[in-house]
C-alpha cells in the first residue's frame, strides 16, 4: 500500500467560543492541495470563525491546525501569510494608488542588476501571471480604476505569485456579474491545476456545484459532513445545513394582529436592492430571512434613514413617511437595532446608563441639561425588565458579556417607545439564556401591540417567532410564507434559489 | 479563452486627468508665466528668473524630502526649524573655519538634518505619536535647540569666508549654483522614488497601511527612513539658506514649512499618501514661487502671498477630496447596478 | 492589592490628580528658584498672560473630544483681533468692535465646520490650510501696522486688576472654565460630543445629528477664538497681524493633550485642561525665574507635549491590565494603523 501524503491542511478538533457562545465546536476535516473545497452553512454556522482561525486573526480554544502533517501555530495574519495561507474577501485588499503589477509585487519587487526595481521585468511577470490565469489585464493599469472582479483576479495573481498554498475566498461572488463569476471560476481552476488549495465559502449552491470538488457542511458550529461534490445534490446540502429538530420552540405569546402600521412599496436602492414591497401589521412579528448580501440590513437601513433609498414609498399608519435621518425615523415611532452590536449599537467605553439613554436624550434633558439620575433610573428599569446582569447602571458596557451588551442595545431602542421595531440579528453571538430572554421580550412586546420586523439568519428563531416569513435573495423579495407554510427547507431553498422540491 | 478586463470608461477619464496632474500644473505654470510676462514689467528678465530660481531652489530641495513623508500618509512640520538649525550650523562653522570646504559644510548641515529627521521618525513610527503633533512639537524643540546653540546671537555676513558669500551668486552655465543643487536633488529624489524598492514601499504604506504590513513591508523602518530623508534634505536646505542670506539669525526658516507643504500639496502629492511625484512637487514649488514673484512685481501686497498659500492648500485639498469621493461613489453604484441588471437578465433566461 | 489599597488607588489614579501633583511639584521647584514665586501677587498673576491661550484651549477641547482636530484656532484669533482693531481704529464703538470679533471668529470656525462636517474633508489638512489662510487674512486686514491705545474699560478685561491685586483675567478664565465645563459635562450637546468622538457610527444610528454637531463644534472653537482675541487685546493693549504666530499653538495643543484629552477623541475633561493650563503657566513662570530663554521654554513645552501623548499611548496599551488610570469621560477604542483622519479615509477607499 502506498503511503499517502498528509493533507495540505488538517483541522483537528477546533473549538472556539466568544463570550459564552460556542462559535465552533470540535471541527475536524482535511483540505487537500489542488482541490476546490467549498465551505457551506447558514450564517452563524461557524464559517467565518474557521476562516479567522486559518488566517491567524483568532486563536483556537482547543484543537490545532496541521499543515503538511506538522502542527503549526498561526499567531497572526502575517504568520498565516508566511505559511502560504491567503484570504480574499468580497472587497479585495488592494493598494488603490498603485498599478496592477505593483499591487502583485508590493514589498517584494523584482530587482534588476543594481538592485533597483525592475519595472520591465515586473510588468512582464505580471503579464505572464495574467496569461497563466487566462485573463487579459494590463499590468500598468492603476488599480483605482478597476472594479471588484478585476481586483479579485489581482489578488489571485498575487497569491499565485507569492506561492500561496491555500487561498480562502470568502463569499467572493456577491459583487460579481454572472460573466465575471465565470471568469473568476476559470481563474480558480487554473489555481487548482497548479496544486493550490482553494477554500470557497459561499451560500450559492449553484456556484458550489459549478466549481467545487469537495463540500464541507457546517451547522451550528459543528462539522456535519465533508463529501465530494458529485455525491451531493442541492437538496441534500440544504438538508445537511438545516437538519436539526425544531423541538426547541420558543414561547410565543398570542398577539392580536391589527391594522397595517408600515407599508413599504417598491423600495429600491440602485445596485443594492430593488422593488421591495411588504406590509407590517400591529402586533405582528414578521421574519426576514436570507443570506448575507441578500439586502435585508440594507432595506432596514433605508427604512430607518441611515441610507437613502432611490425609489419607493413608505407610509406609517397611513401617513406618508420620508426617512431623512434616524432622528426622523425615531420621531415617527421607528427603531432599528443594528446588525453590528459593537460598531453600530454601542459606545463601548461608556456606561450602561449612558448607552441606554442615548437615543432618547432629547426627552431626558429638559433645557438641554443632563439628568444622570433619570438616565440611571431608565437604565435600572430595563436592567430589571430584560434581566441584564451587571453591577450597576454605571458599569462600562465594554466589560459586559455579548448577551448583556445586546440587551443594553435593545434597552436603548425600547426606551424610545417605538411602535415599529426592526431587529437585525438580535441574538447573534449571544448565549442561550439571553436568547430566551430576548425572545420572551419580543414576543411580549408584540402581544402589547408593537410591530416587529425580525431580520435573522437563525432559522429556528425565525420560524419560531414569526407570524409571517419574508425571504430575500440578491436584493429582491422572493418569497413569503405564513407561519404554517414555513419550513426550514422551504426558507433556505428560497434564500438560495434552489428549485428542488424538499423531501 | 481569455477574459477582457475593462477599465470602466468614465473612471478612466478622471483617472487620466489625475495621472496628468503634473501636466496640468505645467500648463498652469506656463499660463502664469505668460500672464505675468505681459502684465508685469521686469518679470521676463534673466535677472528676475535668476532670483526666482535661487529662492525656489531651497523650497524644492526641502519639498523633495517632504514628499517622501507625505507619501507615507504623514507630515513633517519641523522642516522650518531644521532649516534654521542647519543654516546656523553651516554659517557658524564657516565663520570659525574659513578654510572649510563648502562640500564638507553641506555634509555637516545634512548630518544635523538627518539627526533631527531620525528624531521625528522615532516619535512617529515608534512612539506612535500622530505626525502632526509630533512635528509640531519638534518644530518647537529644534527651534529651541537652535536658540541654545546661538545664545540669541547672529552670524553676520562679515564673519563669513568670501567663497561662501559668493557661492549663491555664481551662475555656472548661466544657472544659479543653488538651482544646480535643486536640480540634482530633484533628479536623485525622483530616481530614488522610481527605482529604489524601499522607496516604492512609501507608496504602498500611504495607500493602504494595513495591507502594507500584511505584505511584509517593515512599515516602522520605512516611515523612519522617510522622516530621516526629509530631515537630511531640510539640512541641505539650511546650508543653501545660509548661502543665500548670509546673515543667519534665530528665526531663520520660521514659517518655511508652510511654503514647502503648499508646494507639495499643489504639486499633486495626496495628503492621504500613496500618490504623488517629485516632478509634481517641483512644479508645485515653481508655480507658487512664480505667482508670488509676480505678485511682488505687480505691487500686490506682501500679505496676499501668505493668504494665497493657505487658501491654495484648502482649495486643492477640497477639490482633490471631492473628486475622489464622487468618483468612488459613482463607480461603486454604477457597478452594482450593472451587476443587478445582469443578474436579472440571467434569471429571466 | 488590598481593598483599601484599591480604593485609594481609584481615587489617586486619575489624570487630574496626577496633574495636581505635578503642579505642586513645579511650585516647589519654582519656590526654590526664587522666593518671589510664593508671593501672593505672583501666584494670582500666574495665569494672566495665558488667558487667551486658555480660552483657545477650552475651545479646542470640544473639537478634540468630538474626534477632530483644529490647528487654525490661533490664526482665527488673529483675524478676530485684527478685525476688532481695524474697526475700532476706523471709529467704531469699542464694544461693537468686540462683538464683531466674536462674529468673525465664529464665522471662520463655521467655514472649517462646513468644509469638515458637511463636505467630509479631512480636518487635519483643512485646518492646516486655514491656519495659513486665516493668518494671511489677518495680514490683509492690518498690514504691517500695530494698533494700540484701546480704552481702559476694555483692556481691563484682559489686563485689569480688581483692587490692584486680583487679576480680572483670572476671574474671566475661571468663569469660562465653569461655563464651558458645564456645557461639556452637563448638557446633551456635551454628551453628543463624547459619543461622536468614541464611535461616530453608533452615534449616528442613535439618532444623534452628527453633521450639525460637528459643524457646531468648529463654530464654537471659532467663537472661543473670538473671546481669546478680546482678552489678548486686553492683556497686550495692542495687536499686530502676527499675533500668536509664535509658540502659542503649541501651548494650546499641549494644554489640551496634557489635560488628559485623548487626541483620538472620546475622553477628557475641562478640569483637566484647566489644570494643565495652570501647569504650563507655572512651568513657564518658573523657567522665567530661572532665566531660561523663551525658545528653550518652548522646547520644554514641546517635550511635555510628546511626553503627554506617550503617556496616553502607554495607558491605552495597559488598558485591561492591572494599571488603570482613569480619565474623565471615556476612552476610545483606538486603531493605531492610520492617522487622525482615518474616519474620513474610510469613505474614500473602496
Contacts of residue A385, Cβ cutoff 8 Å, sequence gap at least 6:
A441
* In contact, B205 and B212? CB cutoff 8 Å: yes
Domain coverage including residue B206: 9-300
Binned at pLDDT 50, 70 and 90, residue C332 comes out as: very low
Q: What is the mean pLDDT of residues A485-491?
A: 89
Beta strand pairing call for A222-228 and A214-219: antiparallel
CB atoms B140 and C298 under 8 Å: yes
Q: What is the mean pLDDT of residues C303-313?
A: 92
Residue-wise pLDDT for C181-207, tens only, equals 999 999 999 999 999 999 999 999 999
Beta strand pairing call for A36-40 and A214-219: parallel
Exposure of B247 by Cβ count < 10 A (0-12 exposed, 13-18 middle, 19+ buried)? middle
User: Is A345 in CB contact (< 8 Å) with chain C?
Assistant: yes
Per-residue pLDDT for A56 more than 60? yes
User: Is A175 in CB contact (< 8 Å) with chain B?
Assistant: yes
Residue B317 lies in a domain: no
Residue in A325, A347, A362 closest to C188 by CB: A362
Pick C3-348's CATH classification: 3.10.20, 1.10.3470, 2.60.40, 2.60.120.
1.10.3470
Q: What is the mean pLDDT of residues C326-348?
A: 33
Binned at pLDDT 50, 70 and 90, residue C341 comes out as: very low
Binned at pLDDT 50, 70 and 90, residue B180 comes out as: very high
Residue-wise pLDDT for A32-47, tens only, equals 999 999 999 887 788 8
pLDDT value of residue A250 = 66
Distance CA C258, CA C261 (A): 7
Beta-bridge partner residues of A339: none
Residue-wise pLDDT for A450-478, tens only, equals 999 999 988 888 988 999 999 999 889 99
Binned at pLDDT 50, 70 and 90, residue A136 comes out as: confident
User: Is A111 in CB contact (< 8 Å) with chain B?
Assistant: yes
B21-58 residues labelled b (16+ CB within 10 A) or e (exposed): bbeebbebbeebbeebeeebeebeeeebbbebbbbbbb
Distance CA B84, CA B250 (A): 7
Q: What is the DSSP string of A173-196?
A: TTT--HHHHHHHHHHHHHHHHTT-
pLDDT value of residue A286 = 95
Distance CA A297, CA C134 (A): 45
Binned at pLDDT 50, 70 and 90, residue A263 comes out as: very high
Q: Show the DSSP H helices in A148-270 as ranges.
A: 148-161, 178-193, 205-211, 234-242
Per-residue pLDDT for C329 more than 70? no
Residue B27 lies in a domain: yes
Binned at pLDDT 50, 70 and 90, residue C158 comes out as: confident
Q: Nearest residue on chain A to C197, judged by CA atoms?
A: A347
Phi-psi region of A327 (alpha: psi -120 to 50; beta: other; left: phi over 0): alpha
* In contact, B112 and B87? CB cutoff 8 Å: no
Distance CA A145, CA C275 (A): 52
Residue A476 C-alpha cell reads as 429582491
Residue B16 lies in a domain: yes
The interface residues of chain A toward chain B in range 443-482, judged by CB-CB distance below 8 A, are 474-475
User: Is C198 in CB contact (< 8 Å) with chain A?
Assistant: yes
Residue-wise pLDDT for A233-253, tens only, equals 888 888 888 777 655 556 677
Q: Domain residue spans in chain C? A: 3-348
pLDDT value of residue A294 = 87
User: Is A412 in CB contact (< 8 Å) with chain C?
Assistant: yes
pLDDT value of residue B260 = 95
How far C279 CA lies from chain B's nearest CA (Å)? 17
Distance CA C105, CA C222 (A): 5
Per-residue pLDDT for A61 more than 80? yes
Please, what is the Cα angle at A146 between A141 and A152, to 5 degrees?
Answer: 110
Binned at pLDDT 50, 70 and 90, residue A102 comes out as: very high
Binned at pLDDT 50, 70 and 90, residue B235 comes out as: very high
Residue-wise pLDDT for A294-320, tens only, equals 899 999 999 999 999 989 999 999 899
pLDDT value of residue A499 = 66
Beta-bridge partner residues of A198: A36, A167
Residue-wise pLDDT for B143-161, tens only, equals 999 988 887 778 888 888 8
Phi-psi region of A15 (alpha: psi -120 to 50; beta: other; left: phi over 0): beta
CB atoms B208 and A95 under 8 Å: yes
pLDDT value of residue C340 = 35
The interface residues of chain C toward chain A in range 89-148, judged by CB-CB distance below 8 A, are none
Per-residue pLDDT for C338 more than 50? no
CB atoms C306 and B127 under 8 Å: yes
Q: How many domains does chain B have?
A: 1
Distance CA A52, CA A449 (A): 42
Rounded to the nearest 10 degrees, what angle do helices C94-113 and C210-236 cross at?
Answer: 140
pTM for the full predicted model: 0.88
Q: What is the mean pLDDT of residues B304-314?
A: 87
Residue in B143, B311, B314 closest to C298 by CB: B143
Q: What is the mean pLDDT of residues C253-278?
A: 93
CB atoms C187 and A365 under 8 Å: yes
- The domains located in chain A, with CATH, are 9-242 (3.40.50.300), 260-496 (3.40.50.300)
Residue A421 C-alpha cell reads as 421595531
Please, what is the Cα angle at B9 between B3 and B13, to 5 degrees?
Answer: 135
CB atoms C204 and A326 under 8 Å: yes
pLDDT value of residue A246 = 58
Per-residue pLDDT for A503 more than 70? no
Distance CA B25, CA B3 (A): 37
Task: State the average pLDDT for chain C.
Answer: 85
CATH code at B35? 1.10.3470
Q: What is the mean pLDDT of residues B72-79?
A: 96
User: Is B103 in CB contact (< 8 Å) with chain A?
Assistant: no
Per-residue pLDDT for B198 more than 70? yes
Residue-wise pLDDT for A345-368, tens only, equals 999 889 999 999 999 999 899 888
H-run or E-run covering B65: helix B46-71
pLDDT value of residue C153 = 79
The count of CB pairs under 8 A between chains A and C is 78
Per-residue pLDDT for B223 more than 70? yes
Binned at pLDDT 50, 70 and 90, residue B99 comes out as: confident
Highest mean pLDDT among A10-24, B267-281, B333-347: B267-281
* In contact, B164 and B92? CB cutoff 8 Å: no
Q: Show the DSSP H helices in A233-295 as ranges.
A: 234-242
How far A42 CA lies from chain C's nearest CA (Å)? 27
The 3-state secondary structure of C268-325 reads CCHHHHHHHHHHHHHHHHHHHHCCCCHHHHHHHHHHHHHHHHHHHHHHHHHCCCCCCC
Q: Nearest residue on chain C to B271, judged by CA atoms?
A: C125
Distance CA B266, CA B285 (A): 8
CA distances from C77 to A398, C46, C236 (A): 40, 22, 14
User: Is B129 in CB contact (< 8 Å) with chain C?
Assistant: yes
Q: A224 by DSSP, 3-state: which?
A: strand
pLDDT value of residue A163 = 85
Amino acid at each position: 500500500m502506498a503511503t499517502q501524503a498528509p493533507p495540505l491542511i488538517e483541522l483537528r478538533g477546533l473549538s472556539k467560543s466568544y463570550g459564552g457562545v460556542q462559535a465552533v465546536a470540535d471541527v475536524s476535516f482535511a483540505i487537500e492541495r489542488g482541490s476546490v473545497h467549498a465551505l457551506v452553512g447558514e450564517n452563524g454556522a461557524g464559517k467565518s470563525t474557521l476562516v479567522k482561525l486559518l488566517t491567524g486573526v483568532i486563536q483556537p480554544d482547543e484543537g490545532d491546525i496541521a499543515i503538511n502533517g506538522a502542527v503549526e501555530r498561526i499567531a497572526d495574519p502575517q504568520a498565516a501569510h508566511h505559511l502560504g495561507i491567503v484570504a480574499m474577501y468580497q472587497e479585495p485588499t488592494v493598494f488603490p494608488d498603485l498599478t496592477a503589477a505593483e499591487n502583485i509585487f508590493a514589498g517584494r519587487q523584482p530587482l534588476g542588476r543594481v538592485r533597483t526595481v525592475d519595472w520591465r521585468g515586473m510588468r512582464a511577470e505580471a503579464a505572464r501571471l495574467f496569461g497563466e490565469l487566462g485573463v487579459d489585464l494590463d499590468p500598468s493599469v492603476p488599480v483605482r480604476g478597476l472594479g471588484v472582479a478585476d481586483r479579485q483576479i489581482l489578488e489571485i495573481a498575487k497569491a499565485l505569485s507569492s506561492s500561496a498554498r491555500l487561498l480562502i475566498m470568502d463569499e467572493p461572488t456577491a459583487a460579481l456579474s454572472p460573466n465575471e463569476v465565470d471568469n473568476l471560476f476559470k481563474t480558480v481552476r487554473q489555481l487548482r491545476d497548479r496544486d493550490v488549495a482553494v477554500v470557497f465559502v459561499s451560500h450559492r449552491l449553484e456556484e458550489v456545484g459549478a466549481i467545487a470538488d469537495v463540500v464541507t457542511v457546517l451547522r451550528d458550529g459543528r462539522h456535519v459532513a465533508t463529501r465530494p461534490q458529485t455525491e451531493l445534490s442541492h437538496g441534500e446540502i440544504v438538508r445537511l445545513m438545516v437538519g436539526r429538530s425544531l423541538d426547541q420552540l420558543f414561547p410565543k405569546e398570542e398577539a392580536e394582529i391589527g391594522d397595517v402600521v408600515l407599508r413599504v412599496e417598491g423600495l429600491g436602492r440602485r445596485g443594492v436592492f430593488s422593488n421591495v414591497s411588504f406590509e407590517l401589521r400591529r402586533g405582528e412579528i414578521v421574519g426576514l430571512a436570507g443570506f448575507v448580501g441578500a439586502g435585508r440590513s440594507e432595506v432596514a437601513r433605508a427604512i430607518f434613514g441611515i441610507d437613502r433609498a432611490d425609489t419607493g414609498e413608505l407610509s406609517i399608519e397611513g401617513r406618508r413617511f420620508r426617512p431623512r435621518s434616524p432622528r426622523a425615523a425615531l420621531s415617527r415611532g421607528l427603531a432599528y437595532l443594528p446588525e453590528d452590536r459593537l460598531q453600530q449599537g454601542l459606545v463601548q467605553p461608556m456606561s450602561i446608563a449612558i448607552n441606554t439613554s442615548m437615543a432618547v436624550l432629547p426627552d431626558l434633558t429638559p433645557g438641554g441639561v443632563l439628568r444622570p439620575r433619570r438616565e440611571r433610573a431608565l437604565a435600572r428599569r430595563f436592567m430589571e425588565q430584560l434581566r441584564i446582569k451587571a453591577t450597576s447602571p454605571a458599569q462600562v458596557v465594554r466589560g459586559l458579556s455579548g448577551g448583556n451588551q445586546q440587551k443594553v442595545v435593545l434597552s436603548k431602542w425600547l426606551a424610545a417607545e417605538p411602535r415599529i421595531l426592526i431587529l437585525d440579528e438580535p441574538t447573534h453571538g449571544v448565549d442561550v439564556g439571553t436568547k430566551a430572554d430576548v425572545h420572551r421580550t419580543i414576543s411580549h412586546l408584540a402581544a402589547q401591540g408593537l410591530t416587529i420586523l425580525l431580520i435573522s439568519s437563525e432559522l429556528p428563531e425565525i420560524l419560531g417567532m414569526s407570524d409571517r416569513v419574508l425571504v430575500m435573495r440578491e436584493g429582491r423579495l422572493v418569497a413569503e410564507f405564513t407561519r404554517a407554510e414555513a419550513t426550514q427547507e422551504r426558507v433556505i431553498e428560497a434564500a438560495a434559489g434552489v428549485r428542488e422540491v424538499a423531501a | 479563452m481569455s477574459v477582457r478586463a475593462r477599465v470602466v470608461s468614465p473612471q478612466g477619464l478622471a483617472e487620466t486627468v489625475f495621472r496628468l496632474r503634473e501636466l496640468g500644473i505645467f500648463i498652469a505654470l506656463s499660463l502664469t508665466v505668460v500672464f505675468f510676462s505681459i502684465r508685469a514689467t521686469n518679470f521676463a528678465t534673466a535677472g528676475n528668473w535668476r532670483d526666482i530660481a535661487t529662492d525656489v531652489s531651497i523650497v524644492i530641495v526641502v519639498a523633495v524630502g517632504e514628499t517622501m513623508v507625505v507619501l507615507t500618509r504623514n507630515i513633517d512640520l519641523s522642516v522650518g526649524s531644521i532649516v534654521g538649525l542647519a543654516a546656523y550650523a553651516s554659517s557658524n562653522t564657516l565663520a570659525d573655519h574659513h578654510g572649510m570646504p563648502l562640500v564638507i559644510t553641506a555634509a555637516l548641515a545634512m548630518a544635523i538634518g538627518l539627526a533631527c529627521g531620525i528624531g521625528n521618525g522615532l516619535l512617529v513610527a515608534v512612539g506612535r505619536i500622530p505626525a502632526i503633533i509630533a512635528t509640531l512639537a519638534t518644530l518647537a524643540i529644534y527651534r529651541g535647540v537652535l536658540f541654545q546653540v546661538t545664545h540669541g546671537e547672529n552670524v553676520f555676513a562679515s564673519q563669513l569666508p568670501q567663497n561662501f558669500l559668493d557661492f549663491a551668486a555664481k551662475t555656472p552655465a548661466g544657472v544659479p549654483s543653488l538651482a544646480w543643487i535643486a536640480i540634482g536633488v530633484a533628479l536623485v529624489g525622483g530616481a530614488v522614488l522610481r527605482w529604489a524598492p524601499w522607496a516604492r514601499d512609501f507608496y504602498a504604506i500611504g495607500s493602504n497601511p494595513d495591507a502594507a504590513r500584511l505584505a511584509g513591508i517593515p512599515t516602522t523602518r520605512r516611515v523612519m527612513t522617510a522622516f530621516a530623508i526629509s530631515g537630511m534634505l531640510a539640512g541641505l536646505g539650511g546650508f543653501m539658506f545660509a548661502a543665500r542670506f548670509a546673515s543667519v539669525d534665530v528665526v531663520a526658516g520660521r514659517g518655511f514649512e508652510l511654503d514647502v507643504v503648499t508646494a507639495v500639496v499643489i504639486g499633486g502629492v495626496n495628503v492621504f499618501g500613496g500618490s504623488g511625484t517629485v516632478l509634481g512637487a517641483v512644479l508645485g514649488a515653481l508655480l507658487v514661487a512664480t505667482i508670488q514673484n509676480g505678485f511682488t512685481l505687480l505691487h500686490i501686497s506682501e500679505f496676499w502671498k501668505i493668504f494665497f498659500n493657505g487658501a491654495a492648500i484648502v482649495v486643492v485639498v477640497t477639490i482633490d477630496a471631492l473628486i475622489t469621493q464622487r468618483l468612488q461613489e459613482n463607480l461603486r453604484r454604477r457597478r452594482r447596478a450593472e451587476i443587478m441588471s445582469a443578474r436579472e437578465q440571467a434569471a429571466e433566461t | 492589592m488590598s481593598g483599601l489599597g484599591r480604593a485609594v488607588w481609584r481615587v489617586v489614579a486619575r489624570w487630574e490628580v496626577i496633574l495636581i501633583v505635578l503642579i505642586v511639584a513645579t511650585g516647589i521647584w519654582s519656590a526654590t528658584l526664587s522666593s518671589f514665586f510664593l508671593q501672593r501677587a505672583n501666584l494670582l498673576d500666574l495665569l494672566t498672560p495665558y488667558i487667551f491661550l486658555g480660552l483657545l484651549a477650552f475651545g479646542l477641547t470640544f473639537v478634540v473630544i468630538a474626534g477632530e482636530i483644529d490647528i487654525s484656532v490661533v490664526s482665527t484669533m488673529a483675524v478676530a483681533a485684527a478685525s476688532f482693531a481695524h474697526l475700532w481704529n476706523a471709529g467704531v464703538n469699542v464694544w461693537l468692535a468686540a462683538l464683531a470679533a466674536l462674529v468673525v471668529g465664529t464665522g471662520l470656525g463655521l467655514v472649517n465646520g462646513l468644509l469638515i462636517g458637511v463636505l467630509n474633508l479631512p480636518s487635519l489638512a483643512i485646518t492646516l490650510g486655514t491656519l495659513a489662510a486665516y493668518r494671511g487674512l489677518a495680514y490683509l486686514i492690518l498690514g504691517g501696522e500695530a494698533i494700540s491705545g484701546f480704552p481702559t474699560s476694555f483692556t481691563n478685561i484682559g489686563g485689569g486688576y480688581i483692587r490692584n491685586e486680583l487679576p480680572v483675567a483670572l476671574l474671566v478664565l475661571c468663569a469660562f472654565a465653569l461655563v464651558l465645563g458645564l456645557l461639556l459635562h452637563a448638557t446633551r450637546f456635551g454628551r453628543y460630543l463624547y459619543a461622536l468622538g468614541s464611535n461616530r457610527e453608533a452615534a449616528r444610528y442613535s439618532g444623534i445629528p452628527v453633521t450639525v454637531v460637528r459643524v457646531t463644534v468648529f463654530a464654537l472653537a471659532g467663537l472661543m477664538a473670538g473671546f481669546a482675541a478680546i482678552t489678548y487685546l486686553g492683556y497686550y493693549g495692542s495687536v499686530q497681524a502676527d499675533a500668536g504666530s509664535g509658540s502659542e499653538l503649541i501651548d494650546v495643543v499641549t494644554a489640551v493633550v496634557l489635560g488628559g484629552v485623548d487626541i483620538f477623541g472620546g475622553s477628557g475633561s475641562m478640569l483637566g485642561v484647566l489644570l494643565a493650563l495652570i501647569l504650563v503657566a507655572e512651568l513657564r513662570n518658573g523657567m522665567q525665574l530661572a532665566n531660561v530663554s523663551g525658545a528653550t521654554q518652548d522646547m520644554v513645552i514641546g517635550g511635555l507635549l510628546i511626553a503627554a501623548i506617550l503617556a496616553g499611548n502607554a495607558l491605552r496599551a495597559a488598558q485591561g491590565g492591572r494599571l488603570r488610570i482613569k480619565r474623565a469621560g471615556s476612552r476610545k477604542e483606538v486603531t493605531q494603523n492610520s492617522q487622525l483622519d482615518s474616519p474620513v479615509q474610510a469613505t474614500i477607499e473602496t
